[in-house]
Amino acid sequence: MPKPFFIGVDGGATHCLARIRDLDGHLLGEGVGGPANIHSDFPLAKESIRGATKSALAAAGLDEQSLRWAHVGLGLAGAGLKATADRLLSELTGFAAVELQTDAYVAWLGAHQGGDGGIAILGTGSCGLAIVNGRRISVAGWGPEVSDEAGGQRMGREALRRTLWAYDGRAEKSGLTDALLTRFNRDPSRIVSFAASASSAEFARFAPLIFKYASAQDPLAIKLVSEAAEAAVSIIDRLLAVGAPAVSLIGGLAEPLLSWLPPRLSGVITPPQADPADGALLMARRAFLRIDSVMQRAG
């Protein structure tokens, strides 16, 4: 009988990463897929997960028939919505077992290896999670429509909004507004057309440009980054208030925003012990060990 193995998938609004390890924890392969927020775009997320998994299988020298021996841990944006999560679980077949949690949960599991602590995800979107004495406390992460205040999606969207203000003469022009107008051929109608159909990931692609101009003291860029930092601080403060002894920052904006956070937080922000994909793998391994233990006792 082939040996079981583990697949961990970390899926967010921009991309997903699938990682395969064997029973001894050795890395076998990795694969990358597209956006995997099952709330925002369920079909795309499902395809991204499958694509990343196929790439990881190929890197590991495994075929799709071997998936029947795979114990899978999925940490996905949007998985906090039960109906959507249940739908995904019903449609993912052919694996030995599947565990599904939010991307925040696997980020926490990787960062703190199951110990008390909190995480703040600062990426395309933003959210926080603390687990203290077995109690789970979620903060923010309600989606781009009404939340994600510390994420790149909001930064990019607001940069375009305020560029239009500057174009109208309702706000001061700056190097950032000029650069953004240039990207759209100095035609505001192109900004409107882009925004009408842009995904969260597409808005977030403007974040590096905003940080670049903020470092050059552009007033609009500084305001946008400061607003994101303030939102991140509110998440971190809430995690600390509920008892998290330390908080790890996760995501593409974690490092750029770190220098914008107040010095008082330097003593409680700690680097994660492992990344979210390894957190997803740990979740799958724990579920496997529970099942294996039950089977041994039954036998």
Residues written for the chain: 299
Contact 275, 19 (CB under 8 A): no
Q: Which helix (H) or strand (E) holds 51?
A: helix 42-60
Residues 27 and 21: their CA atoms lie apart, in Å, by 5
Q: Which helix (H) or strand (E) holds 31?
A: strand 27-33
pLDDT at 290: 85
What is the residue whose two structure tokens read 């925003």? Answer: 257
Q: Report, as ranges of residue numbers, the positions in the chain whose pLDDT lies below 50.
A: 294-295
pLDDT digits (tens, 9 = 90+) for 56-102: 999 999 999 999 999 999 999 989 889 999 999 999 989 999 999 99
Contacts of 218 (CB under 8 A, 6+ apart): 174, 175, 176
Identity at 150, one-letter amino acid code: A
pLDDT at 40: 86
User: Which residues is 249 bridged to in the sheet?
Assistant: 120
R_g of the chain, CA atoms, integer Å: 21
Residues 136 and 116: their CA atoms lie apart, in Å, by 10
pLDDT at 82: 92
β pairing state of 117-122 and 247-250: parallel
Contacts of 119 (CB under 8 A, 6+ apart): 104, 107, 108, 111, 112, 128, 129, 130, 239, 247, 248, 249, 250, 272
Contact 149, 231 (CB under 8 A): yes
Contact 78, 84 (CB under 8 A): yes
pTM assigned to the model = 0.90
Residues 176 and 210: their CA atoms lie apart, in Å, by 7
Q: Which two tokens stand for residue 247?
A: 């908080």
SS3 content of the chain, % helix, strand, coil (to 5): 50, 20, 30
Q: Which two tokens stand for residue 267?
A: 């003593």
Contacts of 291 (CB under 8 A, 6+ apart): 97
pLDDT at 291: 67
